[in-house]
């Protein structure tokens, strides 16, 4: 038991370090450098990795500290390294005890996205200010990043109306902020046991949570047809993870006015960060 406990505590740190290395390598590659060439080349990925890891860590620690505050058993964050464009598949925590009531469920569910946005928005603004605009069209076969309401607003405030054949070359910090918006929107989807699912269940109850989960799952399929094929994968994943939400121990305690206001704020954040077509392909 003692050996298992020590290993259990170390695995979080090991995964964090490995994920930091993979995201740094991904950031270096994005900047046009070979991370294996030299330590200097590898370090070119630090602006991206530090920003992205900071956003993910803030999100998960929001869940973690709110769980501890309500005395709900929870693990430290598990970061997931990956050989991908951004070097990670994200992070998660594992809640090891049932939710006492809807208020606790709501608090833990909303704490992650709100905490992540506190970091994401200012770094996104900083990154956009240090991005550059080029008068070149995206080449055929290239990939363009999608936009959301809040990203569109910030871009217009910082850069104004740009000519048609121009594109913004995102600074690595801005790209990490873009990922932060995308991750926030994914987590806030009111489906199943995602963060948004926790909020929707606590806010609307079991019946309406089930209805909304099914409707949004169908919407993801539609978006997969007309917008981005990746929504098919998300729809399939969410279907197998389950659309139902377990009931808290005491399901009869309703949310107070303050939490309902925060719930509306969460809905606004979801709508303003959601990207129907996060990736586009130029034909």
Tell me the Cα Rg of the chain.
20
* Span of 29-38, 72-81, 161-170, 181-190 with lowest mean pLDDT: 161-170
Q: What is the 3-state secondary structure (H, E, C) of the chain?
A: CHHHHHHHHHHHHHHHHHHHHHHHHHHHHHCCCCCCCCHHHHHCCHHHHHHHHHHHHHHHHHHHHHHHHCCCCECCCEEEECCCCCCEEEEECCECCCCCEHHHHHHHHHHHHHHHHHHHHHHHHHHHHCCEEECCCCCCCCEEECCCHHHHHHHHHHHCCCCCCCEEECCHHHHHHHHHHHHHHHHHCCCCCCHHHHHHHHHHCHHHHHHHHHHHHHHHHHHHHHCCCHHHHHHHHHHHHCCCCCCCCECCCCCCHHHHHHHHHHHHHHHHHCCCCCEEECC
Give the model's pLDDT for residue 21.
98
Render pLDDT for 220-276 as a digit per residue (tens, 0 to 9).
999 999 999 999 999 999 999 999 999 999 999 999 999 999 999 999 999 999 999
Q: CA-to-CA distance for 147 and 149, rounded, in angstroms?
A: 7
Read off φ and ψ for residue 265, nearest 5 degrees. -60, -40
Q: Is the pLDDT of residue 280 over 90?
A: no
Give the model's pLDDT for residue 246.
93
pLDDT classification of 82: cutoffs 50, 70, 90: very high
Give the model's pLDDT for residue 38.
95
Q: CA-to-CA distance for 199 and 81, rounded, in angstroms?
A: 28
Render pLDDT for 113-171 as a digit per residue (tens, 0 to 9).
999 999 999 999 999 999 998 887 666 656 789 999 999 999 999 999 888 778 899 99
């Amino acid at each position: 038991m003692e050996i298992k406990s020590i290993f259990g505590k170390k695995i979080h740190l090991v995964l964090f370090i490995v994920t930091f290395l993979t995201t740094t390598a991904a950031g270096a590659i994005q900047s046009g450098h070979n991370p294996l060439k030299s330590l200097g080349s590898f370090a070119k990925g630090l602006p991206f990795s530090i920003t992205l890891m900071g956003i993910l860590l803030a999100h998960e620690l929001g869940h973690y500290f709110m769980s501890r505050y309500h005395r709900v058993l929870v693990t430290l964050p598990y970061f997931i390294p990956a050989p991908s464009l951004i070097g990670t598949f994200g992070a998660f925590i594992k809640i090891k005890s049932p939710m006492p009531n809807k208020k606790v469920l709501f608090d833990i569910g909303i704490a992650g996205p709100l905490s992540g946005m506190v970091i994401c928005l200012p770094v996104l603004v900083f990154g956009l200010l240090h991005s550059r605009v080029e008068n070149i069209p995206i080449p055929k076969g290239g990939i363009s990043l999608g936009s959301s309401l809040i990203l569109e607003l910030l871009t217009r405030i910082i850069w104004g109306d740009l000519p048609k054949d121009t594109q913004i070359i995102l600074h690595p910090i801005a790209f990490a902020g873009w990922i932060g918006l995308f991750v926030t929107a994914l987590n806030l989807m009111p489906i199943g046991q995602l963060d948004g699912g926790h909020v929707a269940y606590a806010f609307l109850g079991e019946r309406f949570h089930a209805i909304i989960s099914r409707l949004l799952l169908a919407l993801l399929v539609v978006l997969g047809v007309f917008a981005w094929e990746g929504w098919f994968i998300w729809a399939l994943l969410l279907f197998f993870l389950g659309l139902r939400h377990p009931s808290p121990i005491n399901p009869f305690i309703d949310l107070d006015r303050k939490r309902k206001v925060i719930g509306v704020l969460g809905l606004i954040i979801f709508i303003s960060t959601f990207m129907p077509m996060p990736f586009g392909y130029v034909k």
